[in-house]
Structure 1
Amino acid sequence: MRALITGITGQDGGHLAELLHEKGYEIFGLIRGQHNPRRQAVEAEFPYVTLIEGDLADPTSIVRAVEIAQPDELYNLAAISHVGYSFKNPTLTAEVTGKGVLNVLEAVRLAGLAEKTKVYQASTSEMFGGLDYNRPGRGYNEESLFHPRSPYGVAKLYGHWIAKNYRESYGMFVSCGILFNHEGERRGVEFVTRKITHAVARIKAGLQDHIELGDLWPKRDWGYAGDYVRGMWQMVQHGTPDDFVLASGETHSIEEFLDLAFAEIGIDDWKPYVQQNPAFMRPAEVDILLGDPAKAEGVLGWKREVDFPGLVKLMVAHDLNLVGAAG
């Protein structure tokens, strides 16, 4: 089997490359830019991945990548994926995260692979926006209303609907994974979960004395990225293309994340170490995200293996080792 992964330099791309390699795939990864600073690290960590230069905003490069890879499966994970960044760069977010999905689907079709290539589109819980919450206590599912609250969420919603349109219009196998927040040791430090665990490790090592964050009250449905990437693969193996929510079915606040993270280094009261900075607060915030993974569990047999405390413990342990503060 041959697979093409866009977003190979990201958290999910790394987990997926490992999973597919274990299953014996020939793997191709799309990497943006001739001098991408992540290229050397990707080549070192995943020597079995053949890298192809391309950009989701450049349709010609995507057609070329698809023609080279001739993929049986294409996982479109690439995006401008940081919500806060999307407010500062909404046009770029629309071009890459939204229209980039169209470019990928058109590349598959124009390359004559519409009947061969199964496509996975990375949709997101940010499309729900925390509003129109019509299933209190049960979480958003595949039938819930969308109301994105950021340029990122809006762009992802376009990608989600154009993927469904190509499924219905051209009979292409396109499955959309509506994934709730999934974190792990590969998460970038610009994301709040990794920002916290990395700072906690540095505080333990005496390398910094506080962490600056935005709002602490929003609640998210957090899971482990490795579990969710396994769900992506299961969607593509399913007999028919469809939409699936992957979530833990629990929601926790950033304050709860702080409780567990600081407890890992023996600190019960984190408040003296946390400063709120208005610069990290967004024009519009999603209050709560809670997903209902019943369909994925019932149809695909998917189940998360790492719970919320286990996720925080795993991430802190990784960062303690990273900064040399373990033990």
Structure 2
Amino acid sequence: MAKRAFVTGITGQDGSYLAEFLLGKGYEVHGIIRRASTFNTHRIEHLYVDPHVSGARMFLHYGDLVDGARLASLLSTIRPDEVYHLAAQSHVRVSFDEPEYTAETTALGTLKLLEAIRRLGLSCRFYQASSSEMFGASRLPQNEISPFHPRSPYGSAKAFAYWTACNYREAYGQFAVNGILFNHESPRRGETFVTRKITRAVARIRAGLDEHVYLGNIDVIRDWGYAPEYVEGMWRMLQADAPDDYVLATGSGYSVREFLTLAFDHVGLDWERYVRFDDRYVRPAEVDALVGDAAKARSHLGWHPRVQTPELVKLMVDADISALEAGGRHWIDRPALPGWSTAPS
């Protein structure tokens, strides 16, 4: 009988790649989406079939992380073997503007989900999407024993969720793991995140559609990997004999300035001609550098990154160029507005 997975955040970058991966493994996949007046399922449209069609293996359900009763109802009906908790208010810069909402969804949403699993007595395995932002100002490189020093409401909320997963593992015997993922990107990355904003700007500037791209601090350093490889790491964590916490990272750090150079050089352009500074994108408290050490994941899970940052940049630029030349979707074709947030997340 096929394993059954329950995925929060299934419409996001990681959720869509994870759904693909699990379906490829023969899973039945259930995803939770928020009810809204507009559709936000473009990343998984190619996976979805009518649930009434015989053989359908992916199903979408309405729900929200702040609604504990609805979470319990869904889990009781679906009774998953594995739960992948990816949903959150996931943008670091936005968390400074919406700290309460960030805490309610990212922190308390995790608590409500774990508590629903406990009260129902489910024996499912639970994956918590933790974040390198929890480390904040910690010394490099950061690994599973590095101290947390979050520098944003997002990082603080993720730290709460991390310790909640640990507590439910230790207090109630739940198979709960934390995947402490460093930045991971792809052509499916949201356009408000700095990497995708840059690669999309390169495509539009190359085509003569835009003249500039507006950014904040370009000297911060991040460890950027390729998202499809990281969702495989999530799955590997839940296949282990015992629950534990793991860092996933490439081990290499690049500044936003270096990311810009790689992206614009790929199409023969000088980034300094097109990039403009806008202090609206500067965080009130900055995380200067995040670089991870994934030695534990390599030795315990057999996981290792194959796509490094320079290759990732080229992959994303080429994808945005191809999408633009093909006419793209309306969400690709919008002009890049200065008001969009661009902090690394």
TM-score, normalised relative to structure 1? 0.95
What letter matches 2:90 in structure 1?
Answer: S
Match of 2:153 among 127, 151, 154: 151
Question: 2:173: which partner in 1?
Answer: 171
Match of 2:82 among 73, 86, 89: 73
What letter matches 2:307 in structure 1?
Answer: V
Find the aligned partners of 1:36 and 1:58 in 2 and give their Cα distance: 20
Find the aligned partners of 2:35 and 2:239 in 1 and give their Cα distance: 31
Deviation at 1:35, TM superposition (A): 3.7
Deviation at 1:132, TM superposition (A): 3.3
Question: 1:290: which partner in 2?
Answer: 291
How do 1:8-27 residues align onto structure 2 when only pairs under 5 Å count?
8-27=10-29
Q: Is the Cα contact below 8 Å between 2:47 and 2:58 reproduced in 1?
A: no
Question: 2:337: which partner in 1?
Answer: none
**RMSD of equivalent CA atoms:** 1.4
Q: Is the Cα contact below 8 Å between 1:21 and 1:27 reproduced in 2?
A: yes
Against the structure 1 CA distance between its residues 34 and 110, is the aligned structure 2 distance closer, same or farther, given a 3 Å change threshold?
A: farther
How many residue pairs match? The answer is 318
Q: Is the Cα contact below 8 Å between 1:201 and 1:320 reproduced in 2?
A: yes
Runs (5+) with no aligned partner, structure 1? none
Q: Is the Cα contact below 8 Å between 1:4 and 1:71 reproduced in 2?
A: yes
Deviation at 1:111, TM superposition (A): 1.9
Residue aligned with 2:228, SS: helix
Question: 2:249: which partner in 1?
Answer: 247
Find the aligned partners of 2:154 and 2:133 in 1 and give their Cα distance: 8
Question: 2:227: which partner in 1?
Answer: 225
Against the structure 1 CA distance between its residues 127 and 248, is the aligned structure 2 distance closer, same or farther, given a 3 Å change threshold?
A: same
Against the structure 1 CA distance between its residues 36 and 162, is the aligned structure 2 distance closer, same or farther, given a 3 Å change threshold?
A: farther
Find the aligned partners of 1:288 and 1:199 in 2 and give their Cα distance: 24
Residue aligned with 1:175, SS: strand
Find the aligned partners of 1:217 and 1:192 in 2 and give their Cα distance: 13
1:187-214 Cα shifts (integer Å, max 9, x gaps): 0000000000001001111110110000
Question: 2:131: which partner in 1?
Answer: 124
Find the aligned partners of 1:46 and 1:183 in 2 and give their Cα distance: 23
How do 1:57-136 residues align onto structure 2 when only pairs under 5 Å count?
57-113=66-122, 116-129=123-136, 131-133=137-139, 136=140
Residues 1:33 and 2:32 are matched in the alignment: no
Residue aligned with 2:44, SS: helix
Identity %: 53
Deviation at 1:263, TM superposition (A): 1.1
Deviation at 1:46, TM superposition (A): 3.2
What letter matches 2:133 in structure 1?
Answer: E
Find the aligned partners of 2:236 and 2:42 in 1 and give their Cα distance: 30
Deviation at 1:109, TM superposition (A): 1.3
Deviation at 1:68, TM superposition (A): 2.2
Match of 1:52 among 54, 61, 75: 61
1:251-303 Cα shifts (integer Å, max 9, x gaps): 00001100110011111x21110000011111011000010000000000001
1:141-161 Cα shifts (integer Å, max 9, x gaps): 100000000000000000000
How do 1:191-230 residues align onto structure 2 when only pairs under 5 Å count?
191-230=193-232
Find the aligned partners of 1:65 and 1:207 in 2 and give their Cα distance: 45
Q: Is the Cα contact below 8 Å between 1:9 and 1:42 reproduced in 2?
A: yes
Find the aligned partners of 1:71 and 1:215 in 2 and give their Cα distance: 42
Runs (5+) with no aligned partner, structure 2? 50-56, 328-345
Find the aligned partners of 1:260 and 1:325 in 2 and give their Cα distance: 24
Deviation at 1:112, TM superposition (A): 2.0
Q: Is the Cα contact below 8 Å between 1:34 and 1:53 reproduced in 2?
A: no
Q: Is the Cα contact below 8 Å between 2:13 and 2:43 reproduced in 1?
A: no
Question: 2:54: which partner in 1?
Answer: none
Residues 1:273 and 2:282 are matched in the alignment: no
Residues 1:322 and 2:323 are matched in the alignment: yes
